Amino acid sequence: MKKQFLVLASFACLSSITWAQTDTISSKRNLQDVVISAIQAKQRTPVTFSTLDKKRIQQLYYGSDIPTLLQVTPSVNAYSDNGTGIGYSFFRLRGMDQTRINTTVNGIPVNDPENQGVFFNNFADLASSAEQIQVQRGIGTSTNGTSAFGGSINIQTKHLSARPSAQVSLGIGSFGSSRLTAEVQTGLLDRHWMFYGRIGQVKTNGFRQNAGAQVQSYHFSLGYVKNKSVLKFNFFGGNAQSELAYLGVDRNTFNTNPRSNPFTHGETDAFNQYFNQVQYSYDLGRGQTLSASAYYVRGGAPKFQFLAEGWYTFDALNIANTPYYVNAPGDTTFSPGNVMTSYRLKQQFMGAFANYQLTRGKLDFVTGIHVNQFQSDHFMEVNWANYVPAAFKQNHQVYFNTGYKNEASAFAKVNYVFTDNVSVFSDVQVRQTSFKYRGRDMEFRKEYGKVEDMNWLFVNPRVGARFGLNRFVSLYAMAGMSMREPTRFDYLQDDFAPRDVKQNEIKPEQVVNVEFGTELSGFVNGKINVYAMEFQNQIVGTGALNNFGYPVTGNVGRSYRRGIEIDLKKQIRNYLNIWVSSAFSSNKIEQFTQTYSDEVSGLPVSQTYTNKDLGFSPNQIHNIGLESFVWKKRISAGLSFRHVGMQYLDNTSNKDLSLPAFNVLDFQLGLNPSSFRIKGLPQISLRVNNILDARYAPSGSLGGWNTINNAGQRGQFALFLPNAGINYFCTAIWLF
């Protein structure tokens, strides 16, 4: 802690240095945007999107992760393992989880290439450094990395500024939650150089028991500017330590002790991710710009400790030639009792992309390429067990395998303005990707399964148009198709290959997406859109989780997601705004077959379902907020209401396996005394979440066994992932 305060003091001292400079970099702001502008939607782009600018992010952010911020946009349902929004936090967009949502930071794809998930807790507090977050719903425009299915999240970090500044943020809240962040902008140095830096820590004990999380993070940017170019280096990442809490609780426990956590034996993990990027933008003149970026990402899991109780034996890991522990005379079964396992990862990810943009007259043309290469070592160690074979040593490696994922893509986008009121848009992406799995024979365990080398080639086209009816109303329409490959977990459902695996066991997903919308300005500002997403071979969760908290998944045939989304804001008075972010949807599978085990005989039993609701896809999500600014905007207050409809935990529309609808009311109060011109006064904000102390679970999973009896009764039951009751977070921000 002493070191942290020394660093904070150093940052504060930097702010006392005075530069007699104007913000000359403002003329370079466009060049800083160019690197990611190729994958972002612009105002004239006929796709459905919402944008959170820096001011809105600062207003909403208090320490909870990116998923909580995104809840103010339509069709988003966020949740966290420990119930606070700090630590492991996730979201679904149009009912689809983050493995089907493309996420980039400064154009770097942050979805894990193998399993395509995103873990914001690995680099928490990124929102402190965010310049803009754009949420595209549906397949959107071409982007870097995995194909966007549910949507895409484009995060742009802060611009370098020629004006020096510094900021210190200190926050405390319920359940031992806290945030400490320090930032500095050096301003323009030697007429060309600029630097931005942030260090921070967020932590919580968690709403749930034994569910604490602590993350140290950083973000540094160094830029060199000339008349026609910007060279920029970005470094960000973090170290996260968490107690495991991804398992839910049954209905009775949820009603009587929602803070309960099934993990009670010290199950913890630690993850880190370090992102390194160089960006270059050059103004070629005559409306032409060229940009390029290279990145290198290193990540790993120093530990992922999971206690497997009783049922989990060394034999279950296919360990050969290990001595058996004899429980009783005549018994030849080796039984280790409880085993504390530690799953480990070591990853490296490198890539590059380049874009050319031409804006001249009525034409806006962008083309680009992107390549990357990924390697991830997966291995497991046995930390301890009740009975360990004599040949084993502490932290013995049981298995070891490596996944390799390579990708190359290219795109071209054209937007042509026929008149001030009519424009057309075309976008096509070609994407090739491959996956290889290589297992290693260990001392006591032979590699059990072989995985076929896999290759996919996808062509993803989009077309659209935009029509301006008048200066207050515009219409847009878009149609497109996107395809994406299955993930490593989709195939293996485990950390190693439990059997021989072929590529055609799981089919790539395909969606045809049609969007119609209107954009309003004047009396009310915002967008209203309707959409249809028609899927073939959609990969969906069964409701069950594997040992790592990932959904157990599989293909279904034809399915769809259709709905209407509303994203509007209205200024009622000079001091009062109202905003509405709502979604109504229908999400169905036309027909699929699910296999169970007979409760008595254990034999497989197949059952076919038709016209059933997709799991984790509520038919309604509503956010309504009031914002008020009084006393010359020195005081701000906000009240927001959130409703999420009932969610099924699997795809059989079984109400016994569902989460009830919930309503949440949040309150925020802010004080900005800067106009008093009194040194040392901070900006203060108080956020009180769930002020009505509602008991609710925004997500969950299935417990029990995948069995069925003669009466059709399932052997599974609902598990609830509880969110915190009434809680607060108070933040003080000092600006220098």
pLDDT tens string 421-448? 999 999 999 999 999 999 998 877 788 8
pLDDT at 449: 87
Say whether pLDDT at 476 is over 90: yes
Segments of 485-575 assigned E as strands: 509-520, 525-536, 539-545, 551-555, 558-573
Distances (CA, A) of 638 to 42, 491, 586: 29, 46, 31
pLDDT classification of 11: cutoffs 50, 70, 90: very low
Predicted local distance difference test score (pLDDT) of residue 16: 37
C-beta of residue 297 within 8 angstroms of C-beta of residue 349 = yes
Which residue in the block uniquely carries the two structure tokens 């992107």? 370
Q: Are the C-beta atoms of residues 561 and 589 closer than 8 Å to each other?
A: no
**Lowest-pLDDT range of 3-17, 436-450, 477-491:** 3-17
- Which tokens sit at 399? 């298995």
**Is the distance from CB of 391 to CB of 408 less than 8 angstroms?**
no
Q: How many domains does the chain have?
A: 1
Write down the pLDDT at residue 266: 87
pLDDT tens figures, 593-630: 988 999 988 899 999 999 999 999 999 999 999 999 88
Q: Please state, in angstroms and rounded to a whole number, the distance separating the CA atoms of residues 39 and 144.
A: 7
Which of the four pLDDT bands, split at 50, 70 and 90, describes residue 72?
very high
Average pLDDT over residues 156-183: 95
Residue 184: CB partners within 8 Å, gap ≥ 6?
11, 14, 15, 165, 166, 167, 195, 196, 197, 198
pLDDT at 510 over 90: yes
Per-residue pLDDT tens over the stretch 548-575: 777 888 899 899 999 999 999 999 988 8
Reported as a single tens digit per residue, the pLDDT across 362-393 is: 999 999 999 999 999 999 888 777 666 666 67
**Interacting residues of 409 by C-beta distance below 8 A, sequence separation 6+:** 142, 144, 369, 370, 371, 429, 430, 431, 432
In the numeric block, the tokens 């026609």 are attached to: 228
- Burial class, 416, CB count within 10 angstroms (exposed 0-12 / middle 13-18 / buried 19+): middle
Looking at residue 317, its pLDDT comes to: 54
Q: In this predicted structure, what is the pLDDT of residue 43? A: 85
Residue 273, SS3 per DSSP: strand
The span from the CA of 336 to the CA of 396, in Å, is 14
Q: What is the pLDDT of residues 175-206, one digit of tens each?
A: 999 999 999 999 999 889 999 999 999 999 99
- Residue 610's pLDDT is 95
Residue located via tokens 């206690």:
307
Q: Which residues share a beta bridge with 349?
A: 297, 374
- The residues with which 526 forms a beta bridge, in sequence order, are 520, 568
Return the number of other C-beta atoms located less than 10 Å from residue 674's C-beta. 12
Tokens of 439: 């297992």
The identity of residue 280, as a single letter, is Y
Please tell me the total number of residues recorded for the chain in this structure: 736
Structure confidence by residue, pLDDT tens digits, 103-157: 999 999 999 999 999 999 998 999 999 999 999 999 999 999 988 888 999 999 9
pLDDT of 38 higher than 90: no
Nearest CA-CA partner of 684 in 634, 609, 615: 634
Closest CA to 111 of 294, 451, 301, 349: 349
The pLDDT of residue 12 is above 50: no
According to DSSP, the β-strands at 108-109 and 130-137 are unpaired
Distance between alpha carbon 224 and the CA centroid of its chain, in Å? Answer: 31
Mean pLDDT of 659-675: 92
pTM: 0.92
State the residue range of the domain holding 440. Answer: 2-735
Q: For the chain, what is the radius of gyration of the CA atoms?
A: 26
> What's the chain's average pLDDT?
89
The pLDDT value recorded for residue 316 is 54
* pLDDT value of position 715: 93
Provide the pLDDT for residue 311: 43
The CATH number that applies at residue 93 is 2.40.170.20
